[in-house]
Structure 1
Amino acid sequence: MMNNATVFTEFSLSGLKDITTKNRVILFSLTLLCYSVILLVNVALIMTIILEEKLHKPMYIFLCNLCINSLYGTAAFYPKFLFDILSGTHVISYIGCLLQVFIYSYASCEFSVLTVMSYDRYVAICRPLEYHSVMTRHRVAFLVGFSRLVPSLCMAIVVTMTSKLTLCGSQIEKLYCENWSIIKLSCNSTTVNNIVGFIIIFFYFGHDLFIMCSYVLLVKCALQSREGWKKFLQTCVPHLLCLLNATVALLFDLMYARYGSASVTQSVKNFMAVQFLMIPPILNPVVYGLKLTQVRYSLLNLCRCNKQVKGLN
Protein backbone atom coordinates (compact mmCIF):
# COMPACT_ATOMS: atom_id res chain seq x y z
CA MET A 1 0.00 0.00 0.00
CA MET A 2 1.47 3.34 -1.08
CA ASN A 3 -1.58 5.61 -0.95
CA ASN A 4 -0.08 7.88 1.71
CA ALA A 5 3.35 8.02 0.08
CA THR A 6 4.88 11.48 -0.31
CA VAL A 7 8.23 12.72 -1.55
CA PHE A 8 9.89 14.23 1.53
CA THR A 9 12.72 16.74 1.27
CA GLU A 10 13.34 17.04 5.01
CA PHE A 11 12.65 15.28 8.30
CA SER A 12 11.62 16.59 11.71
CA LEU A 13 13.70 15.47 14.70
CA SER A 14 11.41 15.12 17.69
CA GLY A 15 14.02 14.38 20.35
CA LEU A 16 14.17 18.02 21.50
CA LYS A 17 10.47 18.84 21.21
CA ASP A 18 9.97 19.14 25.00
CA ILE A 19 13.02 21.29 25.73
CA THR A 20 12.38 24.61 27.50
CA THR A 21 14.32 27.88 27.15
CA LYS A 22 16.05 27.37 30.52
CA ASN A 23 16.94 23.75 29.80
CA ARG A 24 18.20 24.73 26.33
CA VAL A 25 21.05 26.82 27.78
CA ILE A 26 22.04 24.11 30.26
CA LEU A 27 21.89 21.36 27.63
CA PHE A 28 23.89 23.43 25.14
CA SER A 29 26.58 24.15 27.76
CA LEU A 30 26.89 20.50 28.83
CA THR A 31 26.94 19.28 25.23
CA LEU A 32 29.58 21.82 24.25
CA LEU A 33 31.67 20.82 27.28
CA CYS A 34 31.33 17.12 26.40
CA TYR A 35 32.33 17.71 22.78
CA SER A 36 35.26 19.89 23.86
CA VAL A 37 36.52 17.12 26.16
CA ILE A 38 36.17 14.58 23.33
CA LEU A 39 38.18 16.81 21.00
CA LEU A 40 40.80 17.55 23.66
CA VAL A 41 41.54 13.98 24.81
CA ASN A 42 41.48 12.45 21.33
CA VAL A 43 43.53 15.17 19.62
CA ALA A 44 46.03 15.10 22.52
CA LEU A 45 46.54 11.36 22.10
CA ILE A 46 46.74 11.58 18.29
CA MET A 47 49.31 14.39 18.42
CA THR A 48 51.35 12.56 21.07
CA ILE A 49 51.55 9.45 18.88
CA ILE A 50 52.39 11.49 15.76
CA LEU A 51 55.08 13.65 17.41
CA GLU A 52 56.78 10.92 19.46
CA GLU A 53 58.88 8.74 17.14
CA LYS A 54 59.15 5.95 19.73
CA LEU A 55 55.35 5.55 19.50
CA HIS A 56 55.48 4.83 15.77
CA LYS A 57 54.68 1.19 16.39
CA PRO A 58 51.69 -0.91 15.24
CA MET A 59 49.87 -0.85 18.58
CA TYR A 60 50.02 2.94 18.83
CA ILE A 61 49.15 3.40 15.15
CA PHE A 62 45.99 1.35 15.73
CA LEU A 63 45.27 3.41 18.85
CA CYS A 64 45.68 6.59 16.80
CA ASN A 65 43.20 5.14 14.28
CA LEU A 66 40.74 4.50 17.13
CA CYS A 67 40.96 8.14 18.23
CA ILE A 68 40.58 9.42 14.66
CA ASN A 69 37.46 7.28 14.36
CA SER A 70 36.04 8.89 17.51
CA LEU A 71 36.57 12.35 16.00
CA TYR A 72 34.91 11.20 12.78
CA GLY A 73 31.85 9.76 14.51
CA THR A 74 31.26 12.66 16.88
CA ALA A 75 31.75 15.25 14.11
CA ALA A 76 28.72 13.74 12.35
CA PHE A 77 26.55 14.41 15.40
CA TYR A 78 27.67 17.16 17.79
CA PRO A 79 27.85 20.24 15.49
CA LYS A 80 24.35 19.57 14.12
CA PHE A 81 23.03 18.74 17.60
CA LEU A 82 24.45 21.97 19.09
CA PHE A 83 22.77 23.94 16.30
CA ASP A 84 19.47 22.12 16.91
CA ILE A 85 19.55 22.95 20.63
CA LEU A 86 19.65 26.68 19.87
CA SER A 87 17.29 26.47 16.91
CA GLY A 88 13.53 26.72 17.22
CA THR A 89 12.97 24.21 14.43
CA HIS A 90 14.63 20.82 14.55
CA VAL A 91 14.75 19.61 10.96
CA ILE A 92 17.28 17.93 8.68
CA SER A 93 17.29 17.56 4.91
CA TYR A 94 16.62 14.18 3.31
CA ILE A 95 20.20 13.97 2.00
CA GLY A 96 21.59 15.16 5.33
CA CYS A 97 19.55 12.50 7.10
CA LEU A 98 20.94 9.73 4.92
CA LEU A 99 24.48 11.03 5.46
CA GLN A 100 23.94 11.11 9.21
CA VAL A 101 23.08 7.41 9.12
CA PHE A 102 26.82 6.96 8.50
CA ILE A 103 27.25 7.66 12.23
CA TYR A 104 26.95 3.90 12.58
CA SER A 105 29.98 3.36 10.36
CA TYR A 106 31.84 4.94 13.29
CA ALA A 107 30.43 2.27 15.61
CA SER A 108 31.24 -0.63 13.29
CA CYS A 109 34.70 0.81 12.62
CA GLU A 110 35.23 0.87 16.40
CA PHE A 111 34.77 -2.91 16.50
CA SER A 112 37.01 -3.40 13.46
CA VAL A 113 39.84 -1.38 15.03
CA LEU A 114 39.51 -3.19 18.36
CA THR A 115 39.62 -6.53 16.50
CA VAL A 116 42.79 -5.48 14.66
CA MET A 117 44.29 -4.39 17.99
CA SER A 118 43.52 -7.77 19.54
CA TYR A 119 45.30 -9.48 16.63
CA ASP A 120 48.31 -7.22 17.19
CA ARG A 121 48.38 -8.14 20.90
CA TYR A 122 48.06 -11.85 20.06
CA VAL A 123 51.12 -11.73 17.79
CA ALA A 124 53.08 -9.60 20.30
CA ILE A 125 52.46 -11.91 23.27
CA CYS A 126 51.98 -15.36 21.73
CA ARG A 127 54.50 -15.03 18.87
CA PRO A 128 56.97 -12.38 20.07
CA LEU A 129 59.90 -13.62 17.95
CA GLU A 130 57.80 -13.32 14.79
CA TYR A 131 56.22 -9.96 15.67
CA HIS A 132 58.33 -7.70 13.44
CA SER A 133 58.15 -10.10 10.50
CA VAL A 134 54.34 -10.38 10.82
CA MET A 135 53.42 -6.79 11.69
CA THR A 136 55.25 -5.14 8.79
CA ARG A 137 54.43 -1.65 7.50
CA HIS A 138 52.42 -3.12 4.64
CA ARG A 139 50.47 -5.40 7.00
CA VAL A 140 49.73 -2.49 9.36
CA ALA A 141 48.60 -0.30 6.44
CA PHE A 142 46.35 -3.11 5.18
CA LEU A 143 44.78 -3.64 8.62
CA VAL A 144 44.16 0.09 9.09
CA GLY A 145 42.56 0.28 5.64
CA PHE A 146 40.49 -2.85 6.29
CA SER A 147 39.19 -1.48 9.60
CA ARG A 148 37.94 1.67 7.86
CA LEU A 149 36.84 0.57 4.39
CA VAL A 150 34.72 -2.48 5.29
CA PRO A 151 32.48 -0.59 7.77
CA SER A 152 32.05 2.22 5.25
CA LEU A 153 31.10 -0.30 2.56
CA CYS A 154 28.55 -1.98 4.86
CA MET A 155 26.94 1.35 5.72
CA ALA A 156 26.95 2.40 2.05
CA ILE A 157 24.87 -0.73 1.28
CA VAL A 158 22.47 0.04 4.15
CA VAL A 159 22.06 3.70 3.14
CA THR A 160 21.54 2.80 -0.52
CA MET A 161 18.81 0.31 0.38
CA THR A 162 17.18 2.83 2.74
CA SER A 163 17.22 5.57 0.09
CA LYS A 164 15.09 3.38 -2.18
CA LEU A 165 12.24 3.08 0.35
CA THR A 166 8.97 4.92 -0.23
CA LEU A 167 8.15 6.84 2.96
CA CYS A 168 4.79 7.69 4.51
CA GLY A 169 6.07 10.04 7.22
CA SER A 170 8.81 12.51 8.08
CA GLN A 171 8.92 12.40 11.88
CA ILE A 172 12.20 10.97 13.26
CA GLU A 173 11.67 10.11 16.94
CA LYS A 174 15.27 10.72 17.86
CA LEU A 175 17.94 13.42 18.20
CA TYR A 176 19.52 12.39 14.90
CA CYS A 177 18.80 10.22 11.88
CA GLU A 178 19.54 6.53 12.12
CA ASN A 179 18.58 3.74 9.78
CA TRP A 180 15.90 2.05 11.88
CA SER A 181 14.04 5.34 12.44
CA ILE A 182 13.80 5.87 8.67
CA ILE A 183 12.80 2.25 7.99
CA LYS A 184 9.87 2.60 10.41
CA LEU A 185 8.50 5.35 8.13
CA SER A 186 8.38 3.06 5.10
CA CYS A 187 5.04 2.45 3.37
CA ASN A 188 6.12 -0.96 2.10
CA SER A 189 7.64 -4.14 3.51
CA THR A 190 11.13 -3.69 4.93
CA THR A 191 11.95 -7.38 5.43
CA VAL A 192 15.03 -7.26 3.17
CA ASN A 193 16.33 -4.14 4.93
CA ASN A 194 15.85 -5.80 8.32
CA ILE A 195 17.63 -8.97 7.22
CA VAL A 196 20.62 -7.02 5.87
CA GLY A 197 20.67 -4.91 9.05
CA PHE A 198 20.71 -7.96 11.31
CA ILE A 199 23.44 -9.62 9.20
CA ILE A 200 25.66 -6.55 9.65
CA ILE A 201 24.88 -6.37 13.38
CA PHE A 202 25.74 -10.05 13.89
CA PHE A 203 28.84 -9.66 11.72
CA TYR A 204 30.22 -6.91 13.95
CA PHE A 205 29.19 -8.46 17.21
CA GLY A 206 30.94 -11.55 15.82
CA HIS A 207 34.08 -9.43 16.12
CA ASP A 208 33.55 -9.63 19.89
CA LEU A 209 33.60 -13.43 19.69
CA PHE A 210 36.82 -13.33 17.67
CA ILE A 211 38.42 -11.03 20.26
CA MET A 212 37.30 -13.24 23.16
CA CYS A 213 38.80 -16.31 21.44
CA SER A 214 42.06 -14.45 20.88
CA TYR A 215 42.12 -13.49 24.56
CA VAL A 216 41.78 -17.11 25.65
CA LEU A 217 45.02 -17.77 23.76
CA LEU A 218 46.54 -14.55 25.10
CA VAL A 219 45.90 -15.47 28.72
CA LYS A 220 47.36 -18.97 28.19
CA CYS A 221 50.52 -17.50 26.68
CA ALA A 222 50.78 -14.67 29.23
CA LEU A 223 50.63 -17.04 32.19
CA GLN A 224 53.72 -18.87 30.97
CA SER A 225 56.07 -16.03 31.94
CA ARG A 226 56.16 -13.03 34.25
CA GLU A 227 57.15 -10.73 31.37
CA GLY A 228 54.25 -11.99 29.24
CA TRP A 229 51.76 -11.44 32.06
CA LYS A 230 53.11 -7.93 32.68
CA LYS A 231 52.72 -7.08 28.99
CA PHE A 232 49.21 -8.53 29.03
CA LEU A 233 48.13 -6.39 32.02
CA GLN A 234 49.68 -3.25 30.58
CA THR A 235 48.39 -3.42 26.99
CA CYS A 236 45.42 -5.82 26.96
CA VAL A 237 43.44 -4.65 29.99
CA PRO A 238 42.76 -1.18 28.50
CA HIS A 239 41.82 -2.88 25.23
CA LEU A 240 39.29 -5.10 27.03
CA LEU A 241 37.86 -2.10 28.88
CA CYS A 242 37.41 -0.23 25.58
CA LEU A 243 35.80 -3.31 24.00
CA LEU A 244 33.36 -3.69 26.91
CA ASN A 245 32.62 0.02 26.80
CA ALA A 246 31.88 0.02 23.06
CA THR A 247 29.88 -3.24 23.13
CA VAL A 248 27.58 -2.24 25.98
CA ALA A 249 27.06 1.27 24.60
CA LEU A 250 26.17 0.13 21.08
CA LEU A 251 24.09 -2.88 22.17
CA PHE A 252 22.11 -0.57 24.46
CA ASP A 253 21.44 1.82 21.56
CA LEU A 254 20.53 -0.87 19.01
CA MET A 255 18.19 -2.76 21.31
CA TYR A 256 16.46 0.44 22.36
CA ALA A 257 16.13 1.63 18.75
CA ARG A 258 14.31 -1.56 17.80
CA TYR A 259 12.46 -2.51 20.97
CA GLY A 260 12.35 0.71 23.06
CA SER A 261 9.31 1.29 25.24
CA ALA A 262 6.99 4.23 24.59
CA SER A 263 6.59 4.66 28.36
CA VAL A 264 10.22 5.79 28.77
CA THR A 265 10.62 9.55 29.32
CA GLN A 266 12.08 11.65 26.50
CA SER A 267 15.19 12.59 28.51
CA VAL A 268 16.00 8.90 29.08
CA LYS A 269 15.42 8.19 25.41
CA ASN A 270 17.79 11.01 24.47
CA PHE A 271 20.52 9.72 26.78
CA MET A 272 20.18 6.19 25.41
CA ALA A 273 20.42 7.62 21.89
CA VAL A 274 23.68 9.52 22.42
CA GLN A 275 25.58 7.55 25.07
CA PHE A 276 27.57 5.59 22.44
CA LEU A 277 28.63 8.95 20.96
CA MET A 278 29.56 10.29 24.38
CA ILE A 279 31.05 7.60 26.61
CA PRO A 280 33.43 5.59 24.33
CA PRO A 281 35.01 8.68 22.64
CA ILE A 282 35.93 10.04 26.09
CA LEU A 283 36.84 6.86 27.94
CA ASN A 284 38.90 5.15 25.21
CA PRO A 285 41.73 7.74 25.01
CA VAL A 286 41.60 8.32 28.78
CA VAL A 287 41.91 4.60 29.57
CA TYR A 288 44.78 4.12 27.12
CA GLY A 289 46.46 7.39 28.09
CA LEU A 290 46.48 6.46 31.77
CA LYS A 291 47.26 2.76 31.40
CA LEU A 292 49.95 2.72 28.69
CA THR A 293 53.17 3.90 30.31
CA GLN A 294 54.85 5.08 27.09
CA VAL A 295 51.83 7.14 26.05
CA ARG A 296 51.48 8.69 29.51
CA TYR A 297 55.16 9.63 29.77
CA SER A 298 55.24 10.95 26.19
CA LEU A 299 52.16 13.09 26.81
CA LEU A 300 53.66 14.49 30.03
CA ASN A 301 56.96 15.23 28.27
CA LEU A 302 55.15 17.12 25.49
CA CYS A 303 53.30 19.16 28.10
CA ARG A 304 56.59 19.99 29.87
CA CYS A 305 58.21 21.00 26.59
CA ASN A 306 55.29 23.31 25.78
CA LYS A 307 55.57 24.95 29.22
CA GLN A 308 59.31 25.46 28.77
CA VAL A 309 58.79 27.03 25.33
CA LYS A 310 56.15 29.39 26.74
CA GLY A 311 58.48 30.24 29.63
CA LEU A 312 61.28 31.18 27.21
CA ASN A 313 58.90 33.39 25.26
Structure 2
Amino acid sequence: MRFVKTCAAVMLVTLLSACSWWGGDKLAPDIPEQELYDDALEAMDAGNYALAVEKFQLLEARYPFGRYSEQAQLELIYAYFQTFEPESAAAAADRFIRLHPNHDNIDYAYYMKGLTAFEKDRSFITRYLPLDETQRDPGAALDSFESFSTLVNRYPESEYAPDAQKRMLYLKNRLATHEIHVASYYMKRRAWVAAANRGRYVVENFQETPAVPDALAIMVEAYTELGLTELAADANEVLSLNYPDYQRRTFKEARSTLLHTATFGLMGEAEEPAVPARPTRSLGETKAEATAEKEAQEAERSWFHKATFGIFE
Protein backbone atom coordinates (compact mmCIF):
# COMPACT_ATOMS: atom_id res chain seq x y z
CA MET A 1 0.00 0.00 0.00
CA ARG A 2 2.84 2.34 0.87
CA PHE A 3 4.36 1.61 -2.55
CA VAL A 4 1.14 2.66 -4.33
CA LYS A 5 1.00 5.95 -2.36
CA THR A 6 4.63 6.68 -3.19
CA CYS A 7 4.03 6.09 -6.92
CA ALA A 8 0.97 8.35 -6.87
CA ALA A 9 2.93 11.17 -5.20
CA VAL A 10 5.75 10.87 -7.75
CA MET A 11 3.28 11.01 -10.65
CA LEU A 12 1.55 14.11 -9.18
CA VAL A 13 4.83 15.95 -8.79
CA THR A 14 5.78 14.94 -12.33
CA LEU A 15 2.54 16.33 -13.79
CA LEU A 16 2.80 19.61 -11.88
CA SER A 17 6.36 20.24 -13.02
CA ALA A 18 5.84 19.09 -16.64
CA CYS A 19 5.38 22.66 -17.98
CA SER A 20 8.71 23.72 -16.51
CA TRP A 21 10.43 20.64 -18.00
CA TRP A 22 9.15 21.57 -21.47
CA GLY A 23 10.13 25.23 -21.25
CA GLY A 24 6.72 26.76 -20.39
CA ASP A 25 8.17 28.90 -17.57
CA LYS A 26 11.47 29.62 -19.23
CA LEU A 27 12.53 33.25 -18.69
CA ALA A 28 14.38 35.32 -21.24
CA PRO A 29 18.03 35.56 -20.34
CA ASP A 30 19.31 38.85 -18.94
CA ILE A 31 20.84 41.03 -21.63
CA PRO A 32 23.51 43.55 -20.59
CA GLU A 33 22.38 47.17 -20.66
CA GLN A 34 25.06 48.22 -23.11
CA GLU A 35 24.09 45.45 -25.52
CA LEU A 36 20.39 46.34 -25.34
CA TYR A 37 21.12 50.01 -26.00
CA ASP A 38 23.43 49.23 -28.93
CA ASP A 39 20.84 46.88 -30.45
CA ALA A 40 18.18 49.59 -30.19
CA LEU A 41 20.44 52.16 -31.87
CA GLU A 42 21.26 49.72 -34.66
CA ALA A 43 17.54 49.18 -35.24
CA MET A 44 17.05 52.96 -35.39
CA ASP A 45 19.87 53.38 -37.89
CA ALA A 46 18.41 50.58 -40.02
CA GLY A 47 14.97 52.22 -40.03
CA ASN A 48 13.43 49.35 -38.08
CA TYR A 49 11.66 51.61 -35.59
CA ALA A 50 9.24 48.92 -34.40
CA LEU A 51 12.17 46.81 -33.21
CA ALA A 52 13.77 49.92 -31.70
CA VAL A 53 10.61 50.59 -29.68
CA GLU A 54 10.71 47.00 -28.39
CA LYS A 55 14.39 47.27 -27.42
CA PHE A 56 14.01 50.66 -25.69
CA GLN A 57 10.96 49.42 -23.77
CA LEU A 58 12.89 46.35 -22.63
CA LEU A 59 15.84 48.56 -21.64
CA GLU A 60 13.59 50.74 -19.49
CA ALA A 61 11.96 47.71 -17.88
CA ARG A 62 15.22 45.91 -17.09
CA TYR A 63 17.35 48.94 -16.18
CA PRO A 64 15.03 51.78 -15.03
CA PHE A 65 17.90 53.58 -13.27
CA GLY A 66 20.71 52.59 -15.62
CA ARG A 67 23.17 54.86 -17.36
CA TYR A 68 21.12 54.83 -20.60
CA SER A 69 17.62 55.10 -19.11
CA GLU A 70 17.15 58.85 -19.73
CA GLN A 71 18.55 58.71 -23.25
CA ALA A 72 16.40 55.67 -23.99
CA GLN A 73 13.30 57.65 -22.99
CA LEU A 74 14.25 60.41 -25.44
CA GLU A 75 14.97 57.95 -28.22
CA LEU A 76 11.66 56.22 -27.53
CA ILE A 77 9.77 59.46 -28.31
CA TYR A 78 11.35 59.61 -31.76
CA ALA A 79 10.82 55.90 -32.37
CA TYR A 80 7.11 56.24 -31.58
CA PHE A 81 6.94 59.25 -33.90
CA GLN A 82 8.46 57.24 -36.76
CA THR A 83 6.07 54.34 -36.23
CA PHE A 84 3.08 56.71 -36.57
CA GLU A 85 1.95 56.33 -32.97
CA PRO A 86 1.21 59.97 -32.03
CA GLU A 87 -0.55 59.16 -28.76
CA SER A 88 2.35 57.02 -27.56
CA ALA A 89 4.90 59.63 -28.67
CA ALA A 90 3.03 62.42 -26.86
CA ALA A 91 2.70 60.27 -23.73
CA ALA A 92 6.43 59.46 -23.81
CA ALA A 93 7.27 63.16 -24.20
CA ASP A 94 4.99 64.14 -21.31
CA ARG A 95 6.53 61.43 -19.15
CA PHE A 96 10.05 62.63 -19.87
CA ILE A 97 9.10 66.26 -19.13
CA ARG A 98 7.48 65.23 -15.86
CA LEU A 99 10.38 63.03 -14.71
CA HIS A 100 13.26 65.22 -15.90
CA PRO A 101 12.18 68.90 -15.83
CA ASN A 102 15.80 70.12 -15.61
CA HIS A 103 17.32 67.80 -18.19
CA ASP A 104 19.70 69.32 -20.74
CA ASN A 105 17.58 67.97 -23.60
CA ILE A 106 14.17 68.97 -22.23
CA ASP A 107 13.78 71.31 -25.22
CA TYR A 108 13.89 68.29 -27.53
CA ALA A 109 11.01 66.69 -25.63
CA TYR A 110 8.87 69.82 -26.06
CA TYR A 111 9.81 70.01 -29.74
CA MET A 112 8.88 66.38 -30.41
CA LYS A 113 5.64 66.81 -28.51
CA GLY A 114 4.73 69.78 -30.71
CA LEU A 115 5.88 68.03 -33.88
CA THR A 116 3.84 64.93 -33.06
CA ALA A 117 0.67 67.01 -32.69
CA PHE A 118 1.59 68.99 -35.82
CA GLU A 119 1.71 65.82 -37.93
CA LYS A 120 -1.12 64.03 -36.14
CA ASP A 121 -3.96 65.01 -38.46
CA ARG A 122 -1.87 65.23 -41.63
CA SER A 123 -2.76 61.88 -43.13
CA PHE A 124 -1.83 60.55 -46.56
CA ILE A 125 -5.02 62.01 -48.01
CA THR A 126 -4.52 65.51 -46.61
CA ARG A 127 -0.92 65.61 -47.78
CA TYR A 128 -1.53 64.77 -51.42
CA LEU A 129 -5.08 66.00 -52.03
CA PRO A 130 -6.13 69.66 -52.00
CA LEU A 131 -8.21 69.46 -48.81
CA ASP A 132 -8.74 72.52 -46.64
CA GLU A 133 -7.18 71.75 -43.25
CA THR A 134 -8.62 74.94 -41.74
CA GLN A 135 -12.10 73.39 -41.75
CA ARG A 136 -11.03 70.41 -39.65
CA ASP A 137 -10.99 70.06 -35.87
CA PRO A 138 -8.22 72.37 -34.55
CA GLY A 139 -7.54 70.33 -31.42
CA ALA A 140 -4.20 68.90 -32.56
CA ALA A 141 -3.14 72.28 -33.98
CA LEU A 142 -3.83 73.92 -30.62
CA ASP A 143 -1.78 71.28 -28.77
CA SER A 144 1.07 71.71 -31.23
CA PHE A 145 1.02 75.49 -30.94
CA GLU A 146 1.06 75.28 -27.14
CA SER A 147 4.08 72.95 -27.08
CA PHE A 148 6.03 75.03 -29.59
CA SER A 149 5.13 78.19 -27.66
CA THR A 150 6.47 76.70 -24.44
CA LEU A 151 9.68 75.71 -26.20
CA VAL A 152 10.23 79.16 -27.72
CA ASN A 153 9.40 81.06 -24.52
CA ARG A 154 11.41 78.92 -22.12
CA TYR A 155 14.32 77.97 -24.34
CA PRO A 156 14.75 80.73 -26.95
CA GLU A 157 18.37 79.68 -27.58
CA SER A 158 17.44 76.09 -28.39
CA GLU A 159 18.47 74.72 -31.76
CA TYR A 160 14.85 73.68 -32.28
CA ALA A 161 13.42 77.16 -31.62
CA PRO A 162 13.76 78.53 -35.22
CA ASP A 163 11.83 75.63 -36.73
CA ALA A 164 9.26 75.82 -33.95
CA GLN A 165 8.70 79.53 -34.70
CA LYS A 166 8.06 78.80 -38.38
CA ARG A 167 5.57 76.11 -37.53
CA MET A 168 3.89 78.41 -35.01
CA LEU A 169 3.38 80.99 -37.74
CA TYR A 170 1.68 78.41 -39.94
CA LEU A 171 -0.45 77.16 -37.05
CA LYS A 172 -1.42 80.69 -36.08
CA ASN A 173 -2.66 81.37 -39.61
CA ARG A 174 -4.50 78.07 -39.68
CA LEU A 175 -6.23 78.64 -36.35
CA ALA A 176 -7.24 82.16 -37.35
CA THR A 177 -8.70 80.93 -40.63
CA HIS A 178 -10.62 78.23 -38.79
CA GLU A 179 -12.21 80.93 -36.64
CA ILE A 180 -13.25 82.78 -39.81
CA HIS A 181 -14.89 79.61 -41.14
CA VAL A 182 -16.86 79.32 -37.91
CA ALA A 183 -17.79 83.01 -38.02
CA SER A 184 -18.90 82.62 -41.65
CA TYR A 185 -21.12 79.72 -40.62
CA TYR A 186 -22.74 81.89 -37.96
CA MET A 187 -23.23 84.69 -40.49
CA LYS A 188 -25.05 82.34 -42.86
CA ARG A 189 -27.26 81.23 -39.96
CA ARG A 190 -27.85 84.90 -39.01
CA ALA A 191 -26.29 84.37 -35.58
CA TRP A 192 -24.90 87.90 -35.56
CA VAL A 193 -23.68 88.02 -31.96
CA ALA A 194 -21.73 84.74 -32.26
CA ALA A 195 -20.22 85.84 -35.58
CA ALA A 196 -19.16 89.21 -34.18
CA ASN A 197 -17.55 87.56 -31.15
CA ARG A 198 -15.57 85.19 -33.38
CA GLY A 199 -14.37 88.08 -35.50
CA ARG A 200 -13.31 90.06 -32.44
CA TYR A 201 -11.47 87.00 -31.09
CA VAL A 202 -9.41 86.81 -34.30
CA VAL A 203 -8.57 90.52 -34.16
CA GLU A 204 -7.50 90.30 -30.51
CA ASN A 205 -5.59 87.01 -30.57
CA PHE A 206 -4.36 86.46 -34.14
CA GLN A 207 -2.96 89.81 -35.20
CA GLU A 208 -0.81 90.03 -38.33
CA THR A 209 -2.53 87.03 -39.91
CA PRO A 210 -4.31 87.02 -43.29
CA ALA A 211 -7.60 86.40 -41.48
CA VAL A 212 -7.72 89.79 -39.71
CA PRO A 213 -9.36 91.77 -42.56
CA ASP A 214 -12.00 89.06 -42.94
CA ALA A 215 -12.62 89.24 -39.19
CA LEU A 216 -13.06 93.01 -39.34
CA ALA A 217 -15.43 92.70 -42.30
CA ILE A 218 -17.50 90.16 -40.37
CA MET A 219 -17.62 92.50 -37.38
CA VAL A 220 -18.80 95.38 -39.57
CA GLU A 221 -21.52 93.28 -41.16
CA ALA A 222 -22.66 91.61 -37.92
CA TYR A 223 -22.72 94.84 -35.90
CA THR A 224 -24.69 96.51 -38.69
CA GLU A 225 -27.30 93.75 -38.60
CA LEU A 226 -27.51 94.12 -34.83
CA GLY A 227 -28.01 97.87 -35.10
CA LEU A 228 -24.77 98.65 -33.24
CA THR A 229 -23.77 101.44 -35.57
CA GLU A 230 -20.92 102.82 -33.46
CA LEU A 231 -19.18 99.46 -33.16
CA ALA A 232 -19.72 98.82 -36.87
CA ALA A 233 -18.25 102.24 -37.71
CA ASP A 234 -15.20 101.61 -35.50
CA ALA A 235 -14.52 98.22 -37.11
CA ASN A 236 -15.05 99.72 -40.55
CA GLU A 237 -12.58 102.51 -39.83
CA VAL A 238 -9.91 100.05 -38.65
CA LEU A 239 -10.49 97.95 -41.76
CA SER A 240 -10.27 100.96 -44.11
CA LEU A 241 -7.14 102.39 -42.52
CA ASN A 242 -5.16 99.15 -42.23
CA TYR A 243 -6.38 97.30 -45.31
CA PRO A 244 -7.34 99.91 -47.94
CA ASP A 245 -7.08 97.37 -50.79
CA TYR A 246 -9.32 94.81 -49.14
CA GLN A 247 -12.07 93.64 -51.50
CA ARG A 248 -15.28 93.68 -49.52
CA ARG A 249 -17.83 90.94 -50.03
CA THR A 250 -20.71 89.78 -47.90
CA PHE A 251 -20.37 86.89 -45.46
CA LYS A 252 -24.12 86.35 -45.27
CA GLU A 253 -25.99 83.63 -47.08
CA ALA A 254 -25.74 84.05 -50.86
CA ARG A 255 -28.92 85.30 -52.46
CA SER A 256 -29.54 84.75 -56.15
CA THR A 257 -32.09 86.36 -58.40
CA LEU A 258 -34.78 84.23 -59.98
CA LEU A 259 -33.18 84.67 -63.41
CA HIS A 260 -29.80 83.54 -62.08
CA THR A 261 -31.31 80.42 -60.50
CA ALA A 262 -33.45 79.52 -63.50
CA THR A 263 -30.53 79.75 -65.96
CA PHE A 264 -28.06 77.81 -63.73
CA GLY A 265 -25.89 80.88 -63.27
CA LEU A 266 -25.59 81.77 -66.95
CA MET A 267 -27.65 84.95 -66.64
CA GLY A 268 -28.35 87.36 -63.87
CA GLU A 269 -26.19 88.10 -60.87
CA ALA A 270 -25.74 86.41 -57.56
CA GLU A 271 -24.37 87.80 -54.35
CA GLU A 272 -21.40 85.58 -53.52
CA PRO A 273 -20.32 85.13 -49.90
CA ALA A 274 -16.69 85.85 -49.09
CA VAL A 275 -14.20 82.99 -49.00
CA PRO A 276 -11.87 83.13 -45.95
CA ALA A 277 -8.17 83.48 -46.67
CA ARG A 278 -6.18 80.28 -46.16
CA PRO A 279 -2.81 79.95 -44.43
CA THR A 280 0.33 79.22 -46.41
CA ARG A 281 0.52 75.46 -46.96
CA SER A 282 4.32 75.36 -47.28
CA LEU A 283 6.34 76.69 -44.34
CA GLY A 284 8.92 78.25 -46.63
CA GLU A 285 6.62 79.51 -49.37
CA THR A 286 7.22 83.10 -50.48
CA LYS A 287 4.53 85.72 -50.97
CA ALA A 288 4.98 85.62 -54.77
CA GLU A 289 4.58 81.84 -54.82
CA ALA A 290 1.43 82.09 -52.70
CA THR A 291 -0.02 84.71 -55.06
CA ALA A 292 0.74 82.55 -58.11
CA GLU A 293 -0.88 79.51 -56.50
CA LYS A 294 -3.96 81.56 -55.61
CA GLU A 295 -4.33 82.83 -59.20
CA ALA A 296 -4.00 79.28 -60.55
CA GLN A 297 -6.69 78.03 -58.18
CA GLU A 298 -9.02 80.87 -59.19
CA ALA A 299 -8.48 80.10 -62.88
CA GLU A 300 -9.23 76.41 -62.27
CA ARG A 301 -12.40 77.22 -60.34
CA SER A 302 -13.53 79.60 -63.10
CA TRP A 303 -13.12 76.90 -65.76
CA PHE A 304 -14.98 74.38 -63.62
CA HIS A 305 -17.72 76.91 -62.99
CA LYS A 306 -18.22 77.42 -66.73
CA ALA A 307 -18.05 73.72 -67.59
CA THR A 308 -20.78 72.83 -65.09
CA PHE A 309 -22.92 75.91 -65.74
CA GLY A 310 -22.40 77.04 -62.19
CA ILE A 311 -24.21 74.05 -60.68
CA PHE A 312 -21.33 72.73 -58.56
CA GLU A 313 -19.73 76.04 -57.60
Q: TM-score, normalised by structure 1?
A: 0.28
Structure number with bigger Rg: 2
Structure with the largest fraction of helix:
1
